[in-house]
């Protein structure tokens, strides 16, 4: 087997033979990403209505369904309606600590058979397996959103404690709840935030996967016919809540 030293040695030998095709540098990274991120957030705090409108347009363009409600308390009603229209009953949701509110009880009142995800890992493999089967059998997955990108209509979800990767993946309907603090305008701004998130040690509870979700799962592999929901959800719903509900 080739070792790291041999492999890199070979690369260096070849590199030494050429100056390269033309003088070039990588993209200029923000020196203090956290500060730039803060500035972006401050500016967006004023411009959020335009950003939200752009997000809505792009999100709908990629096949998402957008809703706007005044407060988090109105969310279960919207989710209940989505579920009833699709004859969906079983729901899995991020843990209240990750979602910022325990929506399972009011969702039960809406007639949904809801379950919150555990706040962390499960050590017992059998419990883990059983939970995975329940997530796979669920009709709806309810999650929060870390970033909503206006330029592309995308939702960014970071995995972690209480926010398992499959909640937004296995059920055929994904419903995501967000407020103005998640809004960003562009991929370039996402770059700054990603730089900031990765600077220094990862905070406790942060997972290893970041997913940028741009509409429902799709394929055009059979005769170029656009078909939704091949592996991931066939519908993605985003509920914008006007009043931020997390401190």
Partner 1 sequence: MTDLSVPFRERAGRALDDHFLQEALTIATTKFIELRREAFGSFPEGDALRDRARAIKEATLQRLDAHLERLIDRVEALGGHVHFARTAAEAREIILGIAKRTGARMAVKSKSMATEEIDLNEALEHAGVTPVETDLGEYIIQLAHEKPSHIIAPAIHKTKGQVAELFTRVLGRPAEPDPEALTRIARAELREKFLQADLGITGANFAVAETGTVVLVTNEGNGRMITSLPRVHVAVMGVEKVVPSMTDLMVFLAILARSATGQKLSVYTTMVQGPRRADELEGPDEFHLVLLDNGRIRQLAGTLREALSCLRCGACLNVCPVYRQIGGHAYGYTYPGPIGILLTAMLNGNAAVRDLAHASSLCGACLDACPVRIDIPRMLIALRKENVEAGRAPAAERSAFGAFARLLRHPALYRAAAPLARVLQRPLARGRRIRRLPLFFGAWTRTRDLPVVAPRTFSERWRALERER
Of the chain, the end-to-end C-alpha distance in Å amounts to 54
Site for partner 1 in 124-163 (CB under 8 A): 128, 131-132, 136, 151-154, 159-161
Identify the CA nearest to 246 among candidates 71, 74, 117.
71
Token code pair at residue 145 = 């959103």
Q: Sketch the per residue contact string, 12 through 41, with partner 1: x for CB under 8 A, - otherwise.
A: x-xx-xx-xxx-xxxxxxx-----------
- Report, in Å, the least distance between residue 193 CB and partner 1: 9
Q: Sketch the per residue contact string, 40 through 79, with partner 1: x for CB under 8 A, - otherwise.
A: ------------------x---x-----------------
Q: Looking at the DSSP assignment, which residues form a beta bridge with residue 49?
A: none
What CA–CA distance (Å, rounded) separates 124 from 127?
5
- Report, in Å, the least distance between residue 124 CB and partner 1: 12
| Tally of CA atoms within 13 A in the half-sphere of 171 that contains its CB | 27
Q: What angle do CA 103, 164, 174 make, to 5 degrees?
A: 60
Nearer to partner 1, 106 or 233 (CB): 233
Site for partner 1 in 193-212 (CB under 8 A): 194-195, 198, 202, 204-212
96 in contact with partner 1 (CB under 8 A): no
User: Site for partner 1 (CB under 8 A): which residue of 41, 90, 108, 165?
Assistant: 165
169 in contact with partner 1 (CB under 8 A): yes
Identify the CA nearest to 182 among candidates 97, 244, 92.
244
4 in contact with partner 1 (CB under 8 A): yes
Token code pair at residue 210 = 């970041």
């Amino acid at each position: 087997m080739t070792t790291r030293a041999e492999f890199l040695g070979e690369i260096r030998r070849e590199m030494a033979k050429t100056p390269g095709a033309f003088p070039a540098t990588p993209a200029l990274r923000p020196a203090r990403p956290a500060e730039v991120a803060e500035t972006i957030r401050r500016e967006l705090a004023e411009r959020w209505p335009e950003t939200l409108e752009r997000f809505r347009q792009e999100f709908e363009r990629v096949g998402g369904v957008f809703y706007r409600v005044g407060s988090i308390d109105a969310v279960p009603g919207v989710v209940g309606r989505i579920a009833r229209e699709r004859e969906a009953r079983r729901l899995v949701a991020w843990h209240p600590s990750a979602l910022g509110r325990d929506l399972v009880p009011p969702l039960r009142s809406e007639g949904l058979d809801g379950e919150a995800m555990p706040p962390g890992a499960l050590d017992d493999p059998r419990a883990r397996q059983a939970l995975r089967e329940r997530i796979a059998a669920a009709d709806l997955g309810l999650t929060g959103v870390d970033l909503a990108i206006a330029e592309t209509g995308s939702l960014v979800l970071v995995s972690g404690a209480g926010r398992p990767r499959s909640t937004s993946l296995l059920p055929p309907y994904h419903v995501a709840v967000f407020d103005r603090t998640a809004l960003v305008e562009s991929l370039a701004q996402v770059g700054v935030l990603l730089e900031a998130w990765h600077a220094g040690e990862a905070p406790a509870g942060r997972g290893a996967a970041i997913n940028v979700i741009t509409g429902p799962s799709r394929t055009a592999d059979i005769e170029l016919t656009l078909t939704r929901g091949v592996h991931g959800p066939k519908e993605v719903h985003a509920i914008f809540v006007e009043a931020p509900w997390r401190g």
